[in-house]
Chains A and B, each alone.
Chain A
Amino acid sequence: MTTLPDKTTAMEQAVAAIPDGATVMLGGFGVPGTPFTLIHELVRQGKRGLTVIKNDANEQGMGVDHLLAAGLVEKLITTHIGLNPRAVAMFNAGELEVEFCAQGILAERVRAGGAGLSGILTDIGMETELARGKQVVEVDGRPALLERALRADAALIHADRADAFGNLAYAATARNFNPMMAMAANLVIAEAERVLPLGGLTPDQVHTPGAFVDRVVELQSISEEYGVVRR
């Protein structure tokens, strides 16, 4: 009997493979599913000129905000930045390029990228600002917008559990964009709260097959950023 390869990697080494100027997908919707520890390592290594793809800009002092504060982000492809005043201010001041996408269309663009497709056709956003500059294709007599697939140089994923091969399982609403992003990058790095030996996840428990994942990083601790936000 053969075995599956072990992809567990040290945090520093996994993130070191991301070049300056990279396009980086970050999982998460608000706090749940955001790879906070991998984001800190991106900041620590000072990766510059990044294009970040994430549902939201987190809140001030959390996640994406650390990248913004350190001036590492050139462009953000996102659906909503309203909970982060720094992101809004940088956008309004022209210091940050923001491409807004309808939320489910962001998911589908990423999914298309992960599925080896060029894009998707949809009527979402027709006759709104979001349609500006997009190619219109007629399908069965009805107009649809061509939304281009998104792929990234790297995707940073937060999983609840991983096995050493990179099979991943997510917790509750921390799943969100993680499964699609884990399929849509050339280098997929998953941080996991627990890394189990092979067989630690049964085949039925796997949400993201490890064949999509390149590196598995075990979190040594769950920092406060992952915790319940008290508003």
Chain B
Amino acid sequence: MSDAKARMIARAAQEIAPGMVVNLGIGLPTKVVDHLPSGFPFCLHTENGMTGIGPSLPPERADRNLIDAGGAYVSPIPGSAYFDSGTSFALVRSGRLDLTMLGAFEVAQSGDLANWKIPGRFSPGAGGAIELAQKARRVVVLTTHTDRTGQPKLLEACTLPLTARGCVDRIFTDMAVIDVTPDGFALREIAEGLEVDQVIAATGAPLTLPGGELPRF
């Protein structure tokens, strides 16, 4: 993993406040939890039916009946609970989920998110992503700023099928921290060693700049 990506994940961990109920999507978001201090009080949820998720276990120590939604073998901690899929998504849809962190193919300046389907190339189904994106109180995206071919992933409008409309609050990338505001994308922080012009060039929509010095991460 690039240094900038690792710093993005560490920065994103600060998004989690004590007491929150949090769901971390598969991939980069899962790694955020490694950056929380030991004893940090929050409740991690996984959509296959568990709250209070302890450390991942290697195969030789794993419980065959205990995985997270990404298929990683996890462990319980004191206070963990298991429940069925209906209960799990009741928690998501009813407003009990304070924060979710998701990956993205595209994010639009309106907060539209596309992260589940690339027609003709990738159509595995959305799993629980639609409900997480649509109903978590705060939706944060972790993504590389551009795709593998260097094209921007932050756009004026999504070109791919939507996961949910107007759902994204904040985006952490390997280049910047960007908020979705009523006026579109607003640059909040910039990665060490980058110039603002580089972030603007890599973004496919207008970017509001704050006055004064930009915090670095």
Interface residues of A (CB under 8 A from B): 29-33, 55-56, 78-83, 88, 91-92, 98, 100, 102-108, 111, 122-130, 160, 170-180, 226-231
Judging by beta carbons under 8 Å apart, are A107 and B65 in contact?
Answer: no
- With the chains together, A206 CA to B76 CA distance in Å? 21
Chain B residues within 8 Å of A228, by CB:
59, 62, 64, 73
Pick the 10 closest A-B CB pairs, nearest first.
A104-B89, A82-B124, A80-B127, A103-B128, A80-B125, A107-B85, A172-B65, A107-B86, A171-B65, A172-B66
Contact B124 A128 (CB under 8 A): no
Residue from A31, A81, A123, A129 having most chain B Cβ neighbours under 10 A: A129
> Assuming A81-B125, A128-B165, what are 12 further A-B pairs, CB within 8 angstroms?
A32-B48, A32-B66, A91-B123, A102-B130, A103-B47, A103-B126, A104-B86, A105-B131, A108-B89, A123-B134, A173-B49, A231-B71
**Interfacial residues, chain B to chain A (CB-CB below 8 A):** 46-50, 59, 62-69, 71, 73, 76, 82-86, 88-90, 92-93, 117, 123-128, 130-131, 134-135, 161-165
Report yes or no: A129 in contact with B161, Cβ–Cβ below 8 A. Answer: yes
User: Please, how many angstroms separate the alpha-carbon atoms of A51 and B82 in the complex?
Assistant: 29
List chain A residues, Cβ under 8 A from B50: 172-173
Contact A177 B85 (CB under 8 A): yes
For this complex, 24 residue pairs linking A to B, each with C-beta atoms less than 8 Å apart, are A30-B48, A30-B71, A32-B64, A80-B124, A80-B125, A81-B125, A82-B125, A91-B123, A103-B126, A103-B127, A104-B47, A104-B90, A107-B85, A111-B86, A124-B131, A124-B135, A128-B161, A128-B163, A172-B50, A173-B65, A176-B48, A177-B85, A227-B64, A228-B73
Structural contact, B64 and A128, CB atoms closer than 8 A: no
Contacts of A100 in B (CB 8 A): 125-126
Q: Number of contacts between A and B (CB, 8 Å)?
A: 141
Whether A124 pairs with B125 at a CB distance below 8 angstroms is: no
Instruction: Find chain A residues with CB under 8 A from B86 CB.
Output: 104, 107-108, 111, 179-180
Residues of chain B within 8 A of A78, CB atoms compared: 125
Q: Are B73 and A178 in contact (CB under 8 A)?
A: no
Q: Is the CB of B59 within 8 A of A128?
A: no
- Whether A104 lies near B84 (C-beta < 8 A) is no
- A residues in contact with B62, CB < 8 Å: 228
With A80-B124, A80-B126, A107-B84 already in contact, the answer to whether A124 and B134 are too (CB < 8 A) is yes
How far apart are the CA atoms of A91 and B123 in the complex, in Å? 9
List, in ascending order, chain B residues with CB within 8 A of A122's CB.
Answer: 93
